[in-house]
Amino acid sequence: MANSKYEYVKSFEVEDRLLPCTWVVVRIDGRSFHRFADVHGFEKPNDINALNLMNECAKAVMEDLTDIVFAYGVSDEYSFVIQKASNLYKRRSSKLVSVIVSLFAASYVFNWHTHFPDKKLQYPPAFDGRAVCYPDDSILRDYLSWRQVDCHINNQYNTCLWSLIKAGKSKDCANSELKGTRADFKNEMLFTQFGINYNELPQLFRKGSYIYRKKVQNSTANGTQISRKSSFVVTIDHGDIIGDTFWKEHPYILGAEE
């Protein structure tokens, strides 16, 4: 930018650099997505096409921004984990959030017809975002566990709610029937009244989706020698991330030695 007498206006900009040497999580959420889902006729309680579209958008973000090491998504939200050592956009919160949100929203519109070939996009989706720093691996994992627990609680409730609604009850009546009930009551209701074994529902619905860079070994032969090199493939999967198993199988995600 050329120097001029007007350059003083830069002094009014807010310094929004995030703390160094911390995990940065950028979480995006759909804005007014209840209305968006209703207008576009999403299946209740889960629309697999809409969820797959969200996953494809998150994967596109990770492929574009290599400092993102992990992402977790459910419903209309996605959390992107940026590695501790990253200096992407000089760790400016406004830059990180705006770039991730815009990449995600653009990908959503771009890929809409791949997942909804028979539905016209009635209006463009919008997402908000925020960036939060987490100082160590334990707190980062607690954050991700919180989101996955939230996924389970909301999905179990919504599965019951929409089963009751589809059986003929009003939304208010269904909500009243479920108010204050425990998880075991909901599981029993689903099984006895609707023949649904909650634990057999797709993990995509019950546990959400996570995306990571899967380490794969590539072998190439050169005469009598075999050369092996590791590469990383951005991979979408579904399963438990609260326990230790996943993290022990992929220690490099959080920067640990294998």
Residue list, annotated binding site for GTP: 29-34, 75-76
Contacts of 78 (CB under 8 A, 6+ apart): 27, 28, 54, 57, 58, 71, 72, 104
Binding residues for Mg(2+): 29-30, 76
Question: For the purposes of burial, counting CB atoms within 10 Å of the CB of 252, is it exposed (0-12), middle (13-18) or buried (19 or more)?
Answer: middle
Pairing of strands 77-82, 209-222: unpaired
Phi, then psi, of 91 in degrees rounded to 5 = 60, 25
* 111: nearest Cα among 40, 59, 71: 59
Sign of CA dihedral 231, 232, 237, 243: positive
Binding residues: 29-34, 75-76
CA angle centred on 230, ends 233 and 63, rounded to 5°:
25
CB environment 60-84: b (16+ within 10 A), e (fewer): bbbeebebbbbbbbbbbbbbbbbbb
With tokens 């539905």, the residue in question is: 119
* 42: nearest Cα among 52, 57, 31: 52
